[in-house]
Amino acid sequence: MATSCVWLISFFSLLVGHGVLQLEASHILNTNLESLQPPSPNQTYRTSYHFQPPKNWMNDPNGPMIYKGLYHFFYQYNPFGAAWGNIVWAHSTSEDLVNWIPHDPAIYPSHQADINGCWSGSATILPGEKPVFLYTGVDPKSQQVQNIAVPKNMSDPFLVEWEKSPKNPLMEPTSMNKINASSFRDPTTAWLGPDGRWRVIIGSKRDRRGLAILYRSKDFINWVKAKHPLHSAKGTGMWECPDFFPVSTSNQSGLDTSMVGLGIKHVLKLSLDDTKHDYYTIGTYNLAMDRYIPDSGSVDGDSGLRYDYGKFYASKTFYDNAKNRRVLWGWINESLSEADYVKQGWAGVQAIPRSVWLSKSGKQLVQWPIVEIEKLRTNRVDSPSTDLKGGSVHEISGVTAAQADVEISFRVSEFNKADVMDPSWTNPQLLCSQKGASVKGGLGPFGLLVLASNHLQEYTAVFFRIFKGQNKYVVLMCSDQSRSSLNKNPDKTTYGTFVDVDPIKEKLSLRSLIDHSIVESFGGDGKVCISSRVYPTLAIEGGAHLYAFNNGTQGVTISKLSAWSMKKAQIS
């Protein structure tokens, strides 16, 4: 059920009475939010099957879980406007992670330990299938502290009411523990060690060193800070929204967060406040020392592995014991200015939930849209194997191009025209911006033109290029937004990364989920993901087209092409 007017009025009175700071996601002072809210949201760029509330601001995913067969999703939400502020934990439930029923907010500022804000956190399922939240509150001194909330009625599968412990805060900065009171937030899902003690990490920093501060507890109420963090890295800045979980080295099955032992590696994901990028490392969890050690070659910081090389932040995973998988949620923010998204009446969407597992190489994760999203597919179009000559464009007709799911694979048989890889080309995003879709190469660019107008005045290009390296061929994947809109205002950053595939032995696969103003692309069977926000002026609704293209001099073959129109999900 939707949020009641009575609740909103009382909550607004509470905020005014306590003089709550209205902060942006980056914690910058923001004033007069309510006066900026438009009378009704602009629907032009709203998505049809990505999760988003009917209006207003949304950011971090919080506490995703499955309980009594129902999926629960909570998220940071402003009930009063389309800019950051007045944040509550909004709540929706689903039977399939695709169609959602909204409920009243689960958590909102009401106690001393969170009176100035209810920020991000996680859900943990205690023995006996008892869910609990650990979340960051902002106290009257504007200190960030960690709190707990539990369901009021455990027999209610919808978990619509939550209550906070009178012992809150459970963890707080003090002069003794030397924690930065303004950089201490976003507790993870807790895990249970073989010694019977629970563990949780909280993001922080000391000067420019990012910290995953570790706490332990026997009863989930009384927490003791460990002498050393689980992990830290110099020069990385504030670590927001940490996530720590095990992955199997032998199969794609997910693992409960407390699993340890042979055949298991661990993943530590951090959200970098400085760059708004999520990066992760793969490594070993040393139980005896309670330390996480990244594998050799697994790099901390922005130059390391990322879940997504486009817009994707504050991500959170949970273990889905019904499907034996680990599911990843991530926030995709706007590419508009604050004035523009406030004017449109809403801001932010969630990426399609993704299944995640360790690749066969053991060096990176693989991500793929949850299989349930395929129930929205309709009007399938298949194309036979097609030679795509250099300089050619092939329209993929018969699908609703503004709301589609397309899978395409390319086969390359001749490599003699591949451009030579310059050893100085170490920054793939910069390389993509310099060699966009309009720059003719030897092998590439080839891929998809999505949300394209009829005469290609507008398009977003998702494509590959192949370069000849010293000992192997190097594959670059890009999402070029430079011509995505005739509107000059949106950010049109071009994104890109290298893909760990051998084009001689392997197909070059690409899947793109297209949903009006978002393009989520998965390259190399999910080894690389790039999410883009675009705002075309011509390629909207029926004016949108979908093309395969090759702007290289060497021809390539489309070995497989399937595309579907996507039905609208039931969300709001």
Phi, psi of 544 (to 5 degrees): -90, 140
Residue listed under structure tokens 């900065």: 173
Q: Is there a cis peptide before residue 151, judged by omega within 30 degrees of 0? A: no
Angle at 499 between CA 294 and CA 279, to 5 degrees: 35
Distance CA 383, CA 181 (A): 58
Convert 164-193 to b/e letters by CB count within 10 Å (16 or more is b). Answer: bbeebbbbbbeeeeebbbebbbbbbbbbbe
Q: What element of type H or E holds 264?
A: strand 264-272
Q: Measured between alpha carbons, how far is residue 551 from residues 129, 408, 443, 445, 528 in Å?
A: 55, 17, 8, 5, 22
> Any bridge partners for residue 223, and if so which?
217
Convert 127-157 to b/e letters by CB count within 10 Å (16 or more is b). Answer: eeeebbbbbbbbbeeebbbbbbbbbeeeeee
- Return the structure tokens found at 490: 């949106």
For 549, counting Cβ atoms within 10 Å of its Cβ (0-12 exposed, 13-18 middle, 19+ buried), the class is buried
**HSE of 482, CA atoms in CB hemisphere, 13 A:** 13
Distance CA 355, CA 327 (A): 5
**Most distant pair of Cα atoms in the chain: their distance:** 71
Neighbours of 491 (CB within 10 A): 14
Distance CA 165, CA 251 (A): 40
Handedness of CA 396, 399, 401, 405 (dihedral sign): negative
**Do the beta carbons of residue 331 and residue 347 sit within 8 Å?**
no
**Has 60 been annotated as catalytic?**
yes
Distance CA 28, CA 117 (A): 14
**Do the beta carbons of residue 309 and residue 496 sit within 8 Å?**
yes
Distance CA 81, CA 165 (A): 29
- Return the structure tokens found at 12: 């607004």
Handedness of CA 139, 141, 144, 146 (dihedral sign): negative
For 289, counting Cβ atoms within 10 Å of its Cβ (0-12 exposed, 13-18 middle, 19+ buried), the class is exposed
DSSP H helices, 305-442, are 338-344, 428-434
Distance CA 464, CA 456 (A): 19
Residues with active-site annotation: 60
